Amino acid sequence: MQRTLATLRFFDTSAQGTESDATGYKGFYYHFLDMRSGRRDWECELSTVDTAFLLAGMLTAAAFFLGDTDAKREIRELIDKLYRRADWQWAQNGGVTVCQGWKPESGFISYRWQGYDEAMFLYLLGLGSPTYPLPKESYAEWTSSYQWRRISGHEMWYSGPLFTHQISHLWFDLRGLRDEYMRGKDSDYFENSRRATYVQQRYAIDNPREFRDYGETCWGISASDGPDDGTIAPWAVVASLPFAPEIVLPALDYFINHVDLKTEDRCGFKATFNPTHPDRSKNPFGWVSPWQFGLNQGPIVLMIENYRSGLPWRLMRSSPYVNGTYISL
């Protein structure tokens, strides 16, 4: 609880403005913040999706820390204040969809959140805002740019990397949720991600590029670090656990018992490995990433718990802002 409070107090009092070394602006935050000063680092962009990650976690925490103690009340009040501060209408930059980022030196970047991808949770958070809500037209415009494809016998809204089919599900229980576009395809977002998981396994089984060790229990391609094509991301397989445990659990057994990916600091799997790529250390498993990333470890924890108990989904669903958005779709 004290760590949560310290984090919220920092964001509440952090510098919000157009200066180049602020922490954020208009309720949004920069992609990278210096660990010591808490201010912008590397001349990076103000990131709408990274802010959405933060706000989703905050709303989940607000639903978790119930009760009438001073600390719990302060947690909920700060989260409500920070959520209300995000100006989603400003982030549209005069358009219908949401821009991906902004820089104080040059303004909004040219890319917008369009096409089926991880941005569904961003739009859901923006739609639920009590202060600067996105219009329904913004969500409709985003969904209108989807691509429906048939891949390996599965028809689905297409997006390549596995993480794009998972991120929104970390907090949002999308089982059975059908907006206009899903109703038109007689599907829902949970089923779409289940199909994407099976497509990933099927690709490894077919193995058209003949990568080493690919197969029924060795699969999982996502955005990750790696030396070349053929890199496997075990964390992305774990994050599909609620969608298809019947194929995910055997893959995890393979990663745990047949590939040395465990870390000494109990951070879970190492980020990636590439059995096709030779390694100077003569590792029998090929190249193995020396790193762990919070952006990988977070989905592992959340999706295991969603599979086990559904707690993150229930917490987010209890938020009045989010529940209203569910109903409106």
Cα gap 250→66, rounded to integer Å? 38
Average model confidence (pLDDT) for the chain? 92
Residue 248, Cβ density class (10 Å: 0-12 exposed, 13-18 middle, ≥19 buried): buried
Cα gap 53→129, rounded to integer Å? 15
- pLDDT of 183 reads 92
Helix, strand, coil percentages (3-state) for the chain, rounded to 5, are 45, 10, 45
- pLDDT of 294 reads 83
pLDDT in tens, 63-112: 999 999 999 999 999 999 999 999 999 999 999 999 999 999 999 999 99
Give me the phi and psi of 16, to 5 degrees please: -115, 110
Which pLDDT band holds residue 154 (cuts at 50, 70, 90)?
Answer: very high
pLDDT in tens, 288-297: 888 788 888 8
In the block, which residue shows the tokens 């490995």? Answer: 273
- pLDDT of 188 reads 95
- Helix/strand/coil (H, E, C) string of 160-184? CCHHHHCHHHHCCCCCCCCCHHHHH
- pLDDT of 280 reads 64
Neighbours of 257 (CB within 10 A): 8
Mean pLDDT of 122-150: 95
Cα gap 42→195, rounded to integer Å? 38
232 closest CA partner among 137, 324, 162: 162
Domain boundaries, the chain: 1-145, 165-329
Mean pLDDT of 21-44: 96
pLDDT in tens, 218-243: 999 998 888 878 899 999 999 999 99
| CA atoms within 13 Å, Cβ hemisphere of 38 | 12
Tell whether the model's pLDDT for residue 200 goes beyond 80.
yes
pLDDT in tens, 309-326: 999 999 999 998 887 776
Residue 137, Cβ density class (10 Å: 0-12 exposed, 13-18 middle, ≥19 buried): exposed
Mean pLDDT of 235-260: 94
- pLDDT of 126 reads 96
Tell whether the model's pLDDT for residue 253 goes beyond 80.
yes
- pLDDT of 223 reads 86
In angstroms, the Cα distances linking 301 to 147, 235, 241, 312, 319 are 30, 10, 11, 10, 21
- pLDDT of 282 reads 72
DSSP state of 323: H
Regarding the domain with residue range 165-329, which homologous superfamily does it belong to in the CATH classification?
Answer: Glycoside hydrolase 144 (GH144) (1.50.10.140)
